[in-house]
Amino acid sequence: MPDARITASTAAPVGAIDRRLFGSFVEHLGRCVYDGIHEPGHPTADEQGFRQDVLDLVRELGVTTVRYPGGNFVSGYRWEDGVGPKEQRPVRRDLAWHSTETNQVGLHEFAHWNAQAGTEPMLAINLGTRDELAALDLLEYTNLPVGSTLSDQRAANGSVDGFGVRMWCLGNEMDGPWQLGHRSAEDYGKIAGRTAKALRQLQPDLDLVVCGSSGRGMPTFGAWERVVLEHTYDDVDFISAHAYYEPHDGDVDSFLASSVDMDRFIEAVAATADAVKAERRSDKTIFISFDEWNVWYQKRYNEVEKITGQDDWPIAPRLLEDVYTVTDAVVFGSLLISLLKHADRVKAASLAQLVNVIAPIMTEPGGAAWRQTTFFPFAITARLAQGEALSVGVDAPVITTKLFGDVPAVDAVVTRGGDGAAVFLVNRHRGDAVTVRVEVAGLEDARIAETHTIADPDPDAANTLQDPQRVAPSANDTASLEHGVLTVVLPPLSWTAVGLTV
């Protein structure tokens, strides 16, 4: 395969990389919370039942914000169930995942866990089956200084200062027919607008996220964003986007090009938001919170895992426990590249999810916690991608895909911040290595500090309980830097990061 050429300049940045781009997501779903982050009987559990081995991995992953408590779960959730003495908390049926919710983890426990993880909480409000009054109560309980009934109740429950949550999602996937309380863009836009206005009366400096589409393939995509923003433009800061990718009918090449879909999705949402901006003659720009993204084998969930029995409401069942391969990690790494390439508009993102449920971290009850293949591109990117993303030109051979036509085999992004820079690269070609020349004007004095490549002769290789270290990144010894030009060989089907000191 011929060589590829990547060009960039430190004088042409796309935008500052918001640290919230490296967020994740903890939902009351399957074993994400119970038997995931929280397992009171585990040898590493703290006095509140949180696994310290999992927390060590969360910190290593470099996650910045954590969205909670759902997801689909939130649309049937009463936040009040999760506060107060644990033995008095209600046990409920969770309709989203056909499970039993014990409410042993709620707001206070999640805040305790966040403090240990060093992460910023991002709370989702139930706008599916509840309204602005319940949202106001939640904000009062969560953030307000003592002196009102609910903030005093919080203090009595152990938190005098409150939790200081800045970022709030106004519901979850309200465009989806599967969502409790699913409604039209018009109806959702109205309740989201009213809720945003009400919340800001209690606390003006919130960062509010209105629901965008659950995927670019939704039939209402585009119109949904426009109508919702027409109702909420002045009162919100972000519109959400969600995307999950998997191979369809064994079409691996299209799967490897999934980030093309993510690129188009982001650009379409930004264009729609800007059209509403123009209509309103507004000076304000709406940013994107890509608050659910990942590889997810949804077909498997729908066909094999879904719990439907009326007498079957398990506690913390094994759901959505996808085992990620090398191929998945390459796609995942390319999605991170897509998010960084749009750093001017995507100012927050949440990898869905964090533990056990379509997650980079897996756990065994009473046993080990380990890193999935997707753990590595996330951890390396979160650590190396500092400062701002640079606009990148890519000149590469193409692969032909069913879904996206001809797509460059190589995609890349360059970041620059502090005394460092980094180049992130993906080779989507399954058979051929590619030699890439990376020329970045302004980085002529850079030196290579570290290299990491994920590739394997077996594209289906994965880490499991039995073999937790089967896949790991290795140094890429082909990388060299001369006269400001970085040259590196990307193996077939691989993801690579090169850290530079400047």
Structure tokens at 154: 């919080």
Catalytic pick from 39, 173, 225, 388?
173
Position of minimal CB gap to ligand AHR: 71
Q: Are 89 and 80 in contact (CB under 8 A)?
A: no
Span near ligand AHR by CB under 6 A; candidates 64-72, 368-376, 378-386, 429-437 = 64-72
E strand map for 265-419: 287-295, 346-351, 361-363, 369-371, 388-395, 398-401, 405-408, 410-417
Is 140 or 328 the residue whose CB approaches ligand AHR more closely?
328
Taking the C-alpha atoms of residue 465 and residue 372, their distance in angstroms, rounded to an integer, is: 10
Span near ligand AHR by CB under 6 A; candidates 69-77, 247-255, 394-402, 413-421 = 69-77
Q: How would you label 277-305 residue by residue, b for 16+ Cβ within 10 Å and e otherwise?
A: beeeeeeeebbbbbbbbbbbbeeebeeee
Rule CB under 6 A: choose which of 24, 72, 272, 289 binds ligand AHR: 72
Scanning residues 396 to 435, which ones bind ligand AHR (CB under 6 A)? none
Is 92 or 277 the residue whose CB approaches ligand AHR more closely?
92
Span near ligand AHR by CB under 6 A; candidates 5-13, 68-76, 432-440, 493-501 = 68-76
Is 215 or 247 the residue whose CB approaches ligand AHR more closely?
215
Taking the C-alpha atoms of residue 270 and residue 31, their distance in angstroms, rounded to an integer, is: 35
292 noted as active-site residue: yes
What is the closest distance, in whole angstroms, from the C-beta atom of residue 443 to ligand AHR in the complex? Answer: 38
Q: Decide if residue 128 touches ligand AHR (CB under 6 A).
A: no
Is 29 or 436 the residue whose CB approaches ligand AHR more closely?
29
Q: Decide if residue 363 touches ligand AHR (CB under 6 A).
A: no
Rule CB under 6 A: choose which of 64, 102, 143, 172 binds ligand AHR: 172
Q: How would you label 140-171 residue by residue, b for 16+ Cβ within 10 Å and e otherwise?
A: bbbbbeeeeebbeebeeeebeebbebebbbbb
| Distance, first Cα to last Cα, the chain | 31
Q: 């936040």: which residue's tokens?
A: 79
Catalytic pick from 101, 140, 292, 388?
292
Is 23 or 491 the residue whose CB approaches ligand AHR more closely?
23
Q: Are 119 and 58 in contact (CB under 8 A)?
A: yes
Q: How would you label 219-229 residue by residue, b for 16+ Cβ within 10 Å and e otherwise?
A: eebbebbebbb
> What type of residue sits at position 34?
Y
List the x/- string, 379-398, binding to ligand AHR by CB under 6 A. Answer: --------------------
Radius of gyration (C-alpha) of the chain in whole angstroms? 22
Rule CB under 6 A: choose which of 23, 70, 121, 212 binds ligand AHR: 70
Taking the C-alpha atoms of residue 421 and residue 441, their distance in angstroms, rounded to an integer, is: 12
Rule CB under 6 A: choose which of 39, 80, 140, 173 binds ligand AHR: 173
CA angle 368, 295, 343 (to 5 degrees): 110
Rule CB under 6 A: choose which of 23, 69, 71, 491 binds ligand AHR: 71
What is the closest distance, in whole angstroms, from the C-beta atom of residue 240 to ligand AHR in the complex? Answer: 10
Taking the C-alpha atoms of residue 138 and residue 493, their distance in angstroms, rounded to an integer, is: 46
DSSP 8-state secondary structure symbol assigned to residue 132: H
Report the relative pairing of strands 434-441 and 485-490 from DSSP bridges.
antiparallel
- CB-based contacts of 318, cutoff 8 Å, min separation 6: 30, 31, 305, 356
Q: Decide if residue 352 touches ligand AHR (CB under 6 A).
A: yes
60 noted as active-site residue: no
Q: Decide if residue 240 touches ligand AHR (CB under 6 A).
A: no
What is the closest distance, in whole angstroms, from the C-beta atom of residue 212 to ligand AHR in the complex? Answer: 12
- CB-based contacts of 281, cutoff 8 Å, min separation 6: none
Span near ligand AHR by CB under 6 A; candidates 70-78, 130-138, 328-336, 440-448 = 70-78
Q: Are 369 and 360 in contact (CB under 8 A)?
A: no
Taking the C-alpha atoms of residue 375 and residue 254, their distance in angstroms, rounded to an integer, is: 22
Nearest one of 385, 391, 377, 397 to 334, comparing CA atoms:
377
Scanning residues 28 to 57, which ones bind ligand AHR (CB under 6 A)? 29
What is the closest distance, in whole angstroms, from the C-beta atom of residue 427 to ligand AHR in the complex? Answer: 28
Scanning residues 268 to 297, which ones bind ligand AHR (CB under 6 A)? 292
Span near ligand AHR by CB under 6 A; candidates 67-75, 384-392, 455-463, 479-487 = 67-75
Q: Decide if residue 353 touches ligand AHR (CB under 6 A).
A: yes
What is the closest distance, in whole angstroms, from the C-beta atom of residue 27 to ligand AHR in the complex? Answer: 5
Taking the C-alpha atoms of residue 88 and residue 84, their distance in angstroms, rounded to an integer, is: 7
Rule CB under 6 A: choose which of 27, 39, 237, 388 binds ligand AHR: 27
Is 25 or 404 the residue whose CB approaches ligand AHR more closely?
25
DSSP 8-state secondary structure symbol assigned to residue 60: H
Scanning residues 220 to 239, which ones bind ligand AHR (CB under 6 A)? none
Span near ligand AHR by CB under 6 A; candidates 66-74, 125-133, 395-403, 478-486 = 66-74
Nearest one of 328, 441, 452 to 385, comparing CA atoms:
452
For residue 196, how many other CB atoms are within 10 A of its CB?
23
Structure tokens at 146: 């003592």
Site residues, ligand AHR (CB under 6 A): 27, 29, 70-72, 172-173, 214, 292, 352-353
Catalytic residue set:
173, 292
